[in-house]
Amino acid sequence: MPDHPALTEATYYILLSLVQPRHGYGIMQRAESLSGGRVRLAAGTLYGALNTLCDKGWILQLPAPDDSRRKDYKLTELGLKVLKNEVARLRELADNGEKILREEA
């Protein structure tokens, strides 16, 4: 496993949405608006990903207020680091793509 594995699109947008605390439905809406409607996270996919990301320590669940069953999540320090690494990796991909297409296509 490389140090900075490529994230799936779902993981990437979930982490990006959780730079500010959000609940499940809020994450779905944020991912959709950030991607201009292209990325729609389905509920089952999101729920599974949130559990896995909590287990990995990339995000954490915030304590819910007593009167609410709604759970909010937030990025951890480790999650922020993973996200920054991914942004750098994506930049490399995009830069290379643009360069080759500009020079050789």
Partner 1 sequence: MESRTMHKWYWVWEFEKEDDWLNDMALNGWVLDSVGFCTYRFVRCEPGEYSVHTEMHPADEGYVDFMRETGAEYVGRMMMWMYFRKKTADGPFDLFSDIDSRISHLDKIGKMLSIVGGANLLIGLANTFSPARFGWINLLCATLLMYALGRIHGKKEALERERMLHE
Residue 47 is a binding residue for partner 1 (CB under 8 A): yes
Query: What is the nearest approach in angstroms of partner 1 to the Cβ of residue 23?
Result: 7
- Shorter beta-carbon distance to partner 1: residue 45 or 76: 45
Select from 24, 35, 60, 80 the one that contacts partner 1 (CB under 8 A). 24
Spell out the residues 6+ positions from residue 31 whose beta carbon is closer than 8 angstroms to its own.
13, 14, 16, 17, 39, 40, 41
Residue 19 is a binding residue for partner 1 (CB under 8 A): no
Distance of CA 20 to the CA centre of its chain: 12
Site string for partner 1, 51-80 (x = CB under 8 A): ------------------xxx---------
As a whole number of angstroms, the distance between CA 53 and CA 87 comes to 18
C-alpha dihedral, 10 to 14 to 17 to 23, nearest 10°: 130
Residue 40 is a binding residue for partner 1 (CB under 8 A): yes
Contact indicator for 51, 74 with CB cutoff of 8 Å: no
Contact residues for partner 1, defined by CB under 8 A: 8-10, 23-25, 28, 40-45, 47-49, 69-71
